[in-house]
Amino acid sequence: MPFDLDAYLGRIGYDGPRQPTFAVLAALHELHPRAIAFDSLDPWLGRTVALDIAALQAKLVRDGRGGYCYEHNTLLWAALEALGFEVRGLSARVLYSTPPGGGRHPRNHMLMKVETPSGPCIADVGFGGLTLTAPLRLAADVVQATPHERVRLTRATADTVNNLPPTWVLEAEAGDTWRAMYEFGLEEHIAPDYEVANYYMATHPRSPFVVRLVAARPLPGRRLALADTAMSIHPTGGPSQKRTLTSADELRRVLTEDFALTLPEDPRVQIKLNALFSP
């Protein structure tokens, strides 16, 4: 199925130039996660998560749904290629939620390397509550501004035992400290690599997306985040505001209004929402 670039650009509210430049990439990167929320609804409901372009256009573009990293970044990848960008798929180990001594995650997060006339960049519109809202130039130890946090890429130590080159680490500024988000290399990943990881994340009983309802959406000056019944608003540069939702109706309103999600017409939606508030 051919990619419908017009429909995608309409979905995210972009009506600017269509050349493969850094400025165009930056505009899409800011608008995409604002318009299309991150969420775990389908894995949480036990629904299939498909990564083919026809399915992604139907779900995220036409039906007003959201999704997680493989869906978001595969959709953006298709749009970028339609605009003439050269894109390479990459994969990362998440560090953000790993406590010291807590072991290492598999490479189960998707991101992309995008070539621009200004040089190679990292693009990633699917990292949940800390999704990048701007592409990053692939340069080490340079603080880069985004519409939200300041971020930087650093180089990890080379693995001399296994003769592996140093990896890159994405860090975000949090107050007066820098916090590692994830670690990645520049080895190319292709669609079958993501299909395997996607199946695990969408179906394994210990996957965080199967066991918990999560949603995230960056808006100008703030970020919204949901974890089951815990709703958070994180103003840029200010203290977070948190509250606990008290009913399935309130949670449904938050999903449809605050996160701008169209919920699937599936009886499991109401059953699962009600279950979050059952004794």
Q: How high is the pLDDT of residue 202?
A: 97
Q: How high is the pLDDT of residue 123?
A: 98
Predicted TM-score of the model (pTM):
0.95
Q: How high is the pLDDT of residue 160?
A: 60
Q: How high is the pLDDT of residue 105?
A: 77
Specify the DSSP class assigned to residue 107.
Answer: E
Q: How high is the pLDDT of residue 91?
A: 97
Q: In whole angstroms, give the CA distance from residue 92 to residue 187.
A: 10
Element (H, E) at 24: helix 22-35
Question: What backbone torsions phi and psi does residue 162 show, to the nearest 5 degrees?
Answer: -100, 10
Q: How many helices (H) and strands (E) does the chain have?
A: 9, 13
3-state secondary structure at position 273: helix
What digits encode the pLDDT tens for the residues 137-170?
Answer: 999 999 999 999 999 999 987 666 666 678 999 9
Domains of the chain, first to last:
5-212 (3.30.2140.20)
Q: How high is the pLDDT of residue 165?
A: 73
Question: What backbone torsions phi and psi does residue 228 show, to the nearest 5 degrees?
Answer: 55, -110
What digits encode the pLDDT tens for the residues 76-87?
Answer: 999 999 999 999
- For the beta sheet containing 119-123, the strands, ordered from the edge strand earlier in sequence to the opposite edge, are 136-137, 119-123, 107-116, 86-94, 177-184, 168-174, 150-155, 144-145
Catalytic residue among 69, 72, 148, 234: 69
How long a stretch of residues is the chain? 279
Q: In whole angstroms, give the CA distance from residue 24 to residue 50.
A: 28
Low-confidence ranges of the chain (pLDDT < 70): 1, 97-103, 158-164
Within 10 Å of residue 170's Cβ, how many Cβ atoms?
Answer: 24
Q: How high is the pLDDT of residue 67?
A: 98
Q: Is position 69 annotated as part of the catalytic site?
A: yes
Q: Is position 109 annotated as part of the catalytic site?
A: yes
Q: Is position 204 annotated as part of the catalytic site?
A: no
Q: How high is the pLDDT of residue 102?
A: 52
3-state secondary structure at position 261: coil
Specify the DSSP class assigned to residue 98.
Answer: P
Catalytic residue among 29, 124, 148, 189: 124
CB 177 within 8 A of CB 162: no
**Residue 163, phi-psi category: left (phi > 0), alpha (psi -120 to 50), beta (remainder):** left
